[in-house]
Chains A and B, each alone.
Chain A
């Protein structure tokens, strides 16, 4: 499907304009983050001038009001910890399900598939109660909750991949005297690397931005994630400090953009692989 266009420069120009328009909402937040809150409300589309410019004030106030760095830290702990746990546990399970292929394995697989379809609202009330009941209402408890609720997608992508690995390789390992554990960790897992990256990307994109599950299960007096901190800024009665909000929005986007620039190639590939399997 590689085609040449008749006037490539024209397309470049058109798409440059579209791309600028596409980035405009983000730029608008960035511009307004340097303006006083009165000016954000009254003239959102003007650039900061001598009168409206407030320097880093919004950032300082936003960090203070939202307790940004602590939220950032907990977001990081939850996202990284859950992703690692999901990768470690579900890759093992998926391989076992494919190779074992008995009734237990098949039942497990079907239940995981079902989990993939169930919207969070279905378990929202009961899960938040159960998490609290078991004492899992903290970032480390969330690792287990996320492993449980997010297992479906990961198992699904991994089993799809394992089915494509030739069985002979593992047989050779068995003949050489490897048990299942060593076979998996020394032979299978290295082969699964592309699928591991795919699942890691999909999980990170979900976990980092997830709002409702942590909002309902975490003990919010002690722990917040970034989306929760942003939502908290809104306050109860529609009284939003727009200045602080702009500062926090920019701060919330920085880690995402850094992650994107650093691993764009993997992200795109992960999305495609995840979609084909889906």
Chain B
């Protein structure tokens, strides 16, 4: 079987691998190389060593956006997960309309970031107009505007994952806890939360990487205003590439730093999930 399988390898892997080389491998390798180069176009570049990386740490707008993005990712991760878990915890119980509520909470996920951004731009600017302000009044306004938007978009997604986790808890365990006289909060702390830990790990990872990677909503809602202070990392990288001629190399170096941050998060999640599995 394996022998004939090997003979058909070109058919089974060929198209995917070819597209993968075009759409990922070559651009990626070129990208890593260009982060050490000075260039305007991909074909005309000169090697400059670590220059781009040195410039990057003198770039105040970038350092600000790094900090701003980290704060954003942490705040949204905590809020989304707490709220999504709470909603899921109630919506696994039986009461009229719970399926309809689940549908409503999930729906914003399917709407794209650009469209979402403009929906919230209307609402938030409408509200802020009452105080004669707008979303671009200060970076804090943009920050909380994006937090609200992100929560609205993602609570439903995480809720769905938490509901699946909660439903997989065997009823006997909860009954046993009740018989042992555990209070509701004790039961939540000692039985429910440990058992939905895999869901918590996945959701935390998803929300934190989504926070770091967010672009569309940022572009539509504030586009970095005022004076690039509400720029998240992705938008900052984009603007370095396409808004500042001569800084393409720095943009590419920023992208590498961005990749390292996201990769570290992914590795941490993987480690954490495995250690939990080992205990269970």
- Give Cα A11–Cα B101 distance, bound, in whole angstroms: 11
Q: Are A130 and B251 in contact (CB under 8 A)?
A: no
Minimal beta-carbon separation of B144 from chain A (angstroms): 15
Q: Are A119 and B90 in contact (CB under 8 A)?
A: no
Within 8 Å by CB of A89, from B19, B91, B220, B233, lies: B19
Is residue B263 within 8 Å, beta carbon to beta carbon, of the partner chain? Answer: yes
Q: Which residues of A contact B131 (CB under 8 A)?
A: none
- Give Cα A208–Cα B109 distance, bound, in whole angstroms: 12
Minimal beta-carbon separation of A212 from chain B (angstroms): 6
Surface stretch bound by B, among A50-58, A192-200, A255-263:
A255-263
Minimal beta-carbon separation of B51 from chain A (angstroms): 17
Is residue B34 within 8 Å, beta carbon to beta carbon, of the partner chain? Answer: yes
Is residue B9 within 8 Å, beta carbon to beta carbon, of the partner chain? Answer: yes
0 or 1 for each of B20-63: is its CB under 8 Å from A? (1 = yes): 11111111101100100000011000000000000000000000
Q: Which residues of A contact B103 (CB under 8 A)?
A: 260, 264
- Give Cα A3–Cα B159 distance, bound, in whole angstroms: 17
Q: Are B23 and A149 in contact (CB under 8 A)?
A: yes
Minimal beta-carbon separation of A49 from chain B (angstroms): 17
- Give Cα A104–Cα B161 distance, bound, in whole angstroms: 34
Is residue B115 within 8 Å, beta carbon to beta carbon, of the partner chain? Answer: yes
Q: Are B23 and A119 in contact (CB under 8 A)?
A: no
Q: Which residues of B in the span 112-141 have a Cβ within 8 Å of any Cβ on A?
A: 112-115, 118-120, 122-123, 125-126, 129
Interface band, chain A: 35 or more
0 or 1 for each of B91-105: is its CB under 8 Å from A? (1 = yes): 111111110111111
Is residue B280 within 8 Å, beta carbon to beta carbon, of the partner chain? Answer: no
Q: Are A145 and B113 in contact (CB under 8 A)?
A: no
Chain B residue nearest to A45 (CB atoms) is B126
Q: Which residues of B contact A155 (CB under 8 A)?
A: 16
Q: Which residues of A contact B2 (CB under 8 A)?
A: 99-100
Q: Which residues of B contact A174 (CB under 8 A)?
A: 1
B residues within 8 Å of A by Cβ? 1-2, 4-9, 11-13, 15-17, 19-28, 30-31, 34, 41-42, 90-98, 100-115, 118-120, 122-123, 125-126, 129, 152, 157, 160-161, 164, 166-169, 171, 174, 192, 198-199, 202-203, 205-206, 212-213, 215-216, 219-220, 233-234, 237-238, 241, 248, 251-252, 254-256, 258-259, 262-263, 266
Kindly list 4 other residue pairs between chains A and B, CB separation below 8 angstroms, not including A119-B259, A121-B254.
Answer: A121-B233, A121-B234, A136-B22, A205-B110
- 5 closest Cβ pairs, A-B complex: A148-B23, A209-B112, A44-B126, A96-B12, A8-B95
